[in-house]
Structure 1
């Protein structure tokens, strides 16, 4: 039984941890508290920097990860102290989860769930197709919620990729992201989207639900506990009515 949920801020992102916590308090029978950025407050920052370097995905089709050369570790150290300098890297979400679990403050049992909002892109390996997949959430202890993953992990509408391909054929270059986002019709989330906070609420609740029930996400595409694999599905599940399927409305509605 989850008695306490600690949510950690990601100050370099538009995600409002306090607003998410207020929403969560109305839906779970647990104390919900908010702390500052976990990646900026853990003990053993040098060891964490090396762990992050080792968790880097270096090839989307290679299960192996990591580059712990001195320069890479130094980059991770700088990114821990100045997160606005981080970006462009995908990390093995399970490896990051394992590294952070050993450094969690306070109680580490499942009665106290830690949910860091992180400013890193996380992925998990797919045994079914032999490649890495970006994720919004990596559930467990701690449950990691990737803010950039909200924009990058779920696939965008087909028109987005069609326009991207057409532009590349005409110019030989990939079009700037801003051009595609302006030209393509369809509802999808973009970097620094003002809907970020609302869209993340369901993922944070799903983290709590997973620890309580052992079930990862919901199969109903209209439920906020659904893990949509396409951007229109994220908008449908997180930003459109109804808020929950019947089963989860009874539990959280």
Structure 2
């Protein structure tokens, strides 16, 4: 691959420029960072069709006029989007025609401000941080929502919800035992780096996530695992250190 095009999600705290610099030090390609991935408004119907309707129903889609118009407005102003889960593979197919002319020498990695999911063999949808492929999608809200948090977190959140409120991040961080990330967490940028690198590795070698929970290419299913893999030393397992390791931090 000659080039990586990394697209930011400006409505989130994820710093695409910093992720791009980190990638540039570790991959054998030139990394170009763009503010956001702009798709044509025609993709709005595809996004509406990709909406997950029920956690336990594999069928997706609501293409009523009002929903399609909502998606059109969200494409123009991403701050309007939120509160919806989308079939990650359907979104990927919808965005593919808008990638870099399907250039085989370019890897497109899109940081996206929408929650993505994939249908599981257990008969329900599962939120994902990353959907590998072309383009690779890395969901910023997925970083907070997909890996499971400590049980106490959900108990405290339920208490606030019953009172009609949302617990502040500072409260959760101090009152709930365990390591986890929450919305707008200042560690978001660092935590997303490994997912972006995994997307590059998949595009160039076909290799997916690493099985070593100490490696940044590991796909943790619990928040504690995300913190360990993305924010703790060592940065990589031995095999991936030989490929992506660098003395720069």
User: TM-score, structure 1 length as denominator?
Assistant: 0.91
**Aligned residue number for residue 216 of structure 1:** 208
Task: Spell out the pairing of 1:1-253 with structure 2 (5 A cutoff).
Answer: 2-38=1-37, 41-42=38-39, 44-45=40-41, 47-104=42-99, 106-126=100-120, 128-164=121-157, 167=159, 176-178=166-168, 179-253=171-245
User: What's the CA shift string for 1:191-238, capped at 9, x where partnerless?
Assistant: 001111100000000001111221210000000000000001000000
Coordinate RMSD, CA, aligned: 1.7
Task: State the alpha-carbon separation in 1 of the partners of residues 111 and 162 from structure 2.
Answer: 37
User: What's the CA shift string for 1:72-115, capped at 9, x where partnerless?
Assistant: 001111111111111100000000000000122x3313321100
Aligned length: 243
| Structure 2 unaligned blocks of 5 or more | none
User: TM-score, structure 2 length as denominator?
Assistant: 0.93
After the TM superposition, which segments of 4 or more aligned residues of structure 1 sit over 2 Å from their partners? 161-165, 171-183
Task: State the alpha-carbon separation in 1 of the partners of residues 194 and 104 from structure 2.
Answer: 20
SS for the counterpart of 1:251 is helix
Change (3 A) 1:182 1:78: farther
SS for the counterpart of 1:19 is helix
User: What's the CA shift string for 1:118-139, capped at 9, x where partnerless?
Assistant: 110000110x201000000000
